[in-house]
Amino acid sequence: MIGVFDSGIGGLTIVRELVRKLPEYRLIYFGDTARTPYGTKSPETIISYAIQDAEFLLEHGAKIIVVACHSASSVATEALRQRFPEIPIFEVVSPSVKKALAVTRKKVIGVIGTRATVSSGIYQKKIAEIDPEVKVYGNACPLLVPLVEEGWLKKPETRRIVKKYLIPLKMRGIDTLVLGCTHYPLLKPIIQAKAGRRITLVDPACEVAEEVAAFLSTHPEIEAKLSKNGKHQIYVSDLTEAFEQVARLFMGRKVNLLKADCEMYHVIKPNGS
Amino acid sequence: MIGVFDSGIGGLTIVRELVRKLPEYRLIYFGDTARTPYGTKSPETIISYAIQDAEFLLEHGAKIIVVACHSASSVATEALRQRFPEIPIFEVVSPSVKKALAVTRKKVIGVIGTRATVSSGIYQKKIAEIDPEVKVYGNACPLLVPLVEEGWLKKPETRRIVKKYLIPLKMRGIDTLVLGCTHYPLLKPIIQAKAGRRITLVDPACEVAEEVAAFLSTHPEIEAKLSKNGKHQIYVSDLTEAFEQVARLFMGRKVNLLKADCEMYHVIKPNGS
């Protein structure tokens, strides 16, 4: 199976694109709703969560892993590749960087995302490696995730807040804007309206699905391992009615969420105090 | 020590009141920032987290426990009392209920809080036990926590959103409003302005501090166990710069957060699939 994990159910936007582009493969998704969100947490914590999430997917039959969460993609990809060297690991940052570089004309790119994603500076780093002349400006937008999860996709409050978040980026003269969080594609109409026609939006969900498709077409030995029959499996570590509603919003249709058979608990290490 | 736990750093509003009212006692605080927030999660998950949080405090010397988190107070208090029958456990709902009943004239009370708190119906239940004639209306306000954590305490967007959340309660004719989440006292000026002068706000932080003070004055055998020297200890399960800033906002002064020596991880139980 193609394994996909995310801090919550936002990653279903990625699942939707994967299913659209690669309808023949079976998917397994893990959303860590018991500890969501990741974007406000420290890199060490995000890395430790990401490794556990990947382990869950591998134990349940995933042969490749897609990190749908931008915060985890930004800070945990290296750690995941070190921990699981045999497993092809895809993440949402690299294909978005490639796309953003392909579309920018003025070489000024904006990135919006969670605090963890933006303050990781990962986009700046990856873009500078390819084209050091490109300027990259980030702005953390912590209110957009709760606004989407409230279902306030078209409310005037949402418009005002999106506008406010985009002002500093527009003042820098960006012509390309990366939607650096799984939730933001749902706000695409508002973001495009407030950004203006001259700014091209990059949706990482589309880009990562393209990348996985290209990889499978050139790696038949991996492709052969993927199961092609049976239902997709969508697991979450915590289940609430609100999550089911939001999952529906993200997938565009009713989704059966399964409660993953795992528990999260504190392990208190012995210490001196 | 007096132990206080919360899903994050919002519970520091309770610590502030406890320190103000009971300056002679040493406090230990645990904020579960690695899994914050609780208010969007299921009752089972919140109960399991609350038990772990209480264990952390007890292992570190707490003799009484104050549940600062409204979501945990609403759904986990019974489970905590069953698990730790020897330990006096205080929570924020009961003293707020008492206060709300004391101040309402028209017997119509509003409650705002997270989804977990509001959908638990705990206020309705507790108030009906004391005075079944009182009407209680709740409204979940999931955007207020992220707005406070962004520091948007006076922004026009915040005013508009507060107004929107209060409309259905005002239409019910409430004359008393319980601020059923640790973050809301920071929005008191806006909430009061949008609620209007005729609505009295109930701040659970003040009420629970009163209750603890009253308990200690009548239980000298417990009071004697509390340490009266040394610094307060403020632990969090995850540490970020943003948390430190928000902690300062909540306490009204610089706070030294200590990273708790604990790890959160998934324990995957063996299962058939």
- Residue A6 assigned ligand-binding role: yes
Q: Are A45 and B238 in contact (CB under 8 A)?
A: yes
> Measured between alpha carbons, how far is A225 from A211 in angstroms, rounded to an integer?
18
Which neighbouring-strand residues pair with A264?
B266
User: Quick check: is A266 in a domain?
Assistant: no
Q: Is residue B28 part of a domain?
A: yes
A250 and A179 within one domain: no
pLDDT exceeds 80 at position A124: yes
How many Cβ atoms are within 10 Å of A153's Cβ, its own excluded? 14
In this structure, chain B runs to a length of 273
Distance from CA of A76 to the nearest CA of B (A): 16
Same domain? A106 vs A188: yes
- DSSP codes of every residue in chain A: -EEEEESSSTTHHHHHHHHHH-TTS-EEEEE-TTT---TTS-HHHHHHHHHHHHHHHHHTT-SEEEE--HHHHHHHHHHHHHH-TTS-EEESHHHHHHHHHHH-SSSEEEEEE-HHHHHHTHHHHHHHHH-TT-EEEEEE-TTHHHHHHTT-SS-HHHHHHHHHHHHHHHHTT-SEEEEESTTGGGGHHHHHHHH-TTSEEE-HHHHHHHHHHHHHHH-HHHHTTS--SS--EEEESS--HHHHHHHHHHHSS----EE-SEEEEEEEPP---
Q: Which two tokens stand for residue A178?
A: 């990366």
Same structural domain, A98 and A76 = no
Pairing of strands B64-67, B89-91: parallel
Identify whether A273 is part of a domain: no
Query: Looking at residue B270, what DSSP letter applies?
Result: P
Confidence at residue A94, expressed as pLDDT on a 0 to 100 scale: 96
Domain membership flag for residue A222: yes
Question: Same structural domain for residues B102 and B123?
Answer: yes
Length of chain A: 273
SS3 of B129, please? helix
Number of domains within chain A: 2
- Residue at a domain's end among A162, A189, A204: A204
In sequence order, the 6+-apart residues with CB closer than 8 A to the CB of A170 are: A195, A196, A199
Cα–Cα distance between A75 and A77 in angstroms, integer?
A: 6
Same domain, A16 and A64: yes
Identify which of A80, A101, A98 has the alpha carbon closest to the alpha carbon of residue A211.
A98
Which of A64-68, A177-181, A262-266, B239-243 bottoms out in mean pLDDT, i.e. has the lowest? A262-266
Residues B244 and B234 in one domain: yes
From B204, B224, B251, the end of a domain falls on: B204
CB B6 within 8 A of CB B31: yes
Residue-range definition of the domain harbouring residue A73: 2-91+206-259
Q: Which residue of B has its CA nearest to A273?
A: B60
Any domain includes B268: no
The residues of A annotated with a catalytic role in the active site are: 69, 181
Structure confidence by residue, pLDDT tens digits, A153-210: 999 999 999 999 999 999 999 999 999 999 999 999 999 999 999 999 999 999 999 9
Instruction: Identify whether B195 is part of a domain.
Output: yes
Q: Are residues B31 and B119 in the same domain?
A: no
Q: Do A265 and B60 touch (CB under 8 A)?
A: no
Domain check: are B227 and B104 in the same one? no
For the beta carbon of residue A217, count every other beta carbon within 10 angstroms.
9
Give the pLDDT confidence of B71-93 residue by residue, as tens digits.
Answer: 999 999 999 999 999 999 999 99
Do B86 and B212 reside in the same domain of the chain?
yes
CA distance A26 to A91: 19
| Nearest CB neighbour to A265, from listed B48, B142, B149 | B48
Checking if the pLDDT of A269 tops 70, the result is no
Contact at CB, A265 and B269, closer than 8 angstroms: no
pLDDT in tens, chain B (273 residues): 999 999 999 999 999 999 999 999 999 999 999 999 999 999 999 999 999 999 999 999 999 999 999 999 999 999 999 999 999 999 999 999 999 999 999 999 999 999 999 999 999 999 999 999 999 999 999 999 999 989 999 999 999 999 999 999 999 999 999 999 999 999 999 999 999 999 999 999 999 999 999 999 999 999 999 988 888 999 999 998 888 888 998 888 888 899 888 877 777 665 433
Tell me whether residues A60 and B164 touch, CB distance under 8 A.
no
Residue B31, beta-bridge partner list = B6, B236
Q: What CATH number has the domain bearing residue B146?
A: 3.40.50.1860
Judge if the upstream peptide bond of residue B37 is cis by omega within 30 degrees of 0: yes
pLDDT tens for A202-232 read 999 999 999 999 999 999 999 999 988 888 9
pLDDT at A268: 64
Place of tokens 């929005």: B187
- A 177-216 near B (Cβ less than 8 A): none
Concerning whether B262 is annotated as a catalytic residue, the answer is no
Query: CA-to-CA distance for A89 and A185, rounded, in angstroms?
Result: 22
Sheet with strand A108-113: strands edge to edge: A135-140, A108-113, A176-180, A200-202
Cβ separation A115–B156 shorter than 8 A? no
Residue A270 lies in a domain: no
Q: Name residues whose C-beta falls within 8 Å of residue B4's C-beta, 6 or more positions apart in sequence.
A: B11, B14, B15, B18, B27, B28, B29, B30, B57, B65, B66, B68
- For residue A68, being part of any structural domain is answered with yes
- 3-class SS at B67? strand
pLDDT, tens only, A78-121 = 999 999 999 999 999 999 999 999 999 999 999 999 998 999 99
Q: Are B4 and B22 in contact (CB under 8 A)?
A: no
**B165, B238: one domain:** no
The reply to whether B52 touches chain A by the CB within 8 Å rule is: yes
- Consult the annotation and say whether A60 binds a ligand: no
- Please tell me whether residues A184 and A239 are part of one structural domain: no
> Which pLDDT value is given to residue B268?
65
Question: Does the pLDDT of residue A255 top 70, yes or no?
Answer: yes
Is the pLDDT confidence value at A270 over 80?
A: no
Of A160, A178, A204, which marks where a domain is finished? A204
- Cβ atoms within 10 Å of B78's Cβ, excluding its own: 10
Please check whether residues A18 and A103 belong to one and the same domain.
no
